[in-house]
Amino acid sequence: MNIIGPDALVFGVDDLAACGQYLVDYGLKDAGAGRFEALDGTAVVLRARNDPALPPEMGTASLLRETVYGVADTAALDAIEAELRRDREVSRRDGVLRCVDDMGFALAFQVTVRRPIALPAETVNAPGAAPQRGPNAIGVTPDMAALPRTLSHVVYFVPDVAKAEAFYTRLGFVCTDRFTGVGPFLRPAGTLDHHTLFMIETPAFMKGCEHFTFHMGGPTEVLLAGTRFVEKGYESFWGPGRHLYGSNWFWYFNSPLGCHVEYDADMDLHDDSWTARETGMGADASQAFLFQYRQKWAPSGPPPGGPAHQPGSPPGGKH
């Protein structure tokens, strides 16, 4: 079943204006009618929490109301519909297939709305390798663009991860890596991305969306976009850093959407020859390294009559 990945996430929120401003400041384009798009047309969609057209709330604090998956073609839609009709109610109208998964998450499937994009990736010059960025080509400027390119993945809290994984396996998702006793990273057939879905087993009262993220053009864009976001007053939650499973750079933020929101870049790609790894979840398994945002500083020279550098503090003595 040629599922590519999430086309959109639909949230029901109390404060449409605040949530919309958050998404614009994050870097998405306000496309109108509550739709906020990345460069390829994947999106977050906002609706009033009491909108009767939305699927029912999950009965927890989660504000996510529907995950919309993009598929390659109508043949993929037909195959998904045939599989799902074996044991659940399915609707299909105006080219959109809808159902509820085994954990109560509302799902939709449609022929993908993703637009092709042709943009350069971040380039690196390294001794011993041919230059990727030639003479006089600048690697970073203060005003360079750093915009979300495509919806990368979503993470669910679920009360029964084995049952949840079995449902998505029916739809062609495969496990690329796993945290023992916690949950799997899942890749659908239509992408090589390390994962578009990760699930974490939690008590039932926590069920919902833990975070979602959009791919950026490289680690510099993650750091630039995150820095600009902090400077607009938004609160950093975790990062910046780099994950071990998936290898993607990350920076997570608190949000008014009832979940965390991440920037990520440079995720591993896997095909069907890959053998999934498994390890316990913990700080050493979650990131290769982790930074912490701080206000900018610049070397200011040693203080009069003092040492050039105090142990444990940066040059200039700022903390």
Structure-block tokens of residue 276: 């999934």
* pLDDT tier, 294 (very low <50, low <70, confident <90, very high otherwise): confident
- How far is Cα of residue 13 from the mean position of the Cα atoms in its chain? 19
CATH number for the domain harbouring residue 230:
3.10.180.10
**H or E stretch covering 253:** strand 249-253
pLDDT value at residue 314: 41
**DSSP letter at 204?**
G
pLDDT value at residue 49: 97
- Is the pLDDT score of 54 beyond 60? yes
Backbone angles phi, psi at 166, to 5 degrees: -60, -35
Stretch 158-175: mean pLDDT, rounded? 98
pLDDT value at residue 317: 34
CA-to-CA distance for 164 and 102, rounded, in angstroms? Answer: 6
pLDDT value at residue 284: 87
CA-to-CA distance for 138 and 133, rounded, in angstroms? Answer: 8
CA-to-CA distance for 213 and 78, rounded, in angstroms? Answer: 29
90 within domain boundaries: yes
Stretch 226-241: mean pLDDT, rounded? 96
139 within domain boundaries: no
311 within domain boundaries: no
162 within domain boundaries: yes
Percentage of the chain lying above the pLDDT 70 cut: 94
Amino acid at the residue 165: E
pLDDT, tens only, 83-131: 999 999 999 999 999 999 999 999 999 999 999 999 999 999 999 999 9
* pLDDT tier, 306 (very low <50, low <70, confident <90, very high otherwise): low
Lowest mean pLDDT among 28-32, 175-179, 303-307: 303-307
Structural domain tally of the chain?
1
- Is the pLDDT score of 301 beyond 70? no
- Identify the burial level of 162 via C-beta atoms within 10 angstroms of its C-beta, where 0-12 means exposed, 13-18 middle and 19 or more buried: exposed
* pLDDT tier, 305 (very low <50, low <70, confident <90, very high otherwise): low
272 within domain boundaries: yes
138 within domain boundaries: no
- Is the pLDDT score of 315 beyond 50? no
130 within domain boundaries: no
210 within domain boundaries: yes
**H or E stretch covering 223:** helix 219-231
Average pLDDT of the chain to the nearest whole number: 93
**H or E stretch covering 67:** strand 64-71
* pLDDT tier, 82 (very low <50, low <70, confident <90, very high otherwise): very high
Say which residues have a Cβ less than 8 Å from residue 85's Cβ, sequence separation at least 6.
none
Q: Which domain holds residue 73?
A: 3-115+146-290
pTM: 0.92
Stretch 182-196: mean pLDDT, rounded? 98
* pLDDT tier, 304 (very low <50, low <70, confident <90, very high otherwise): low
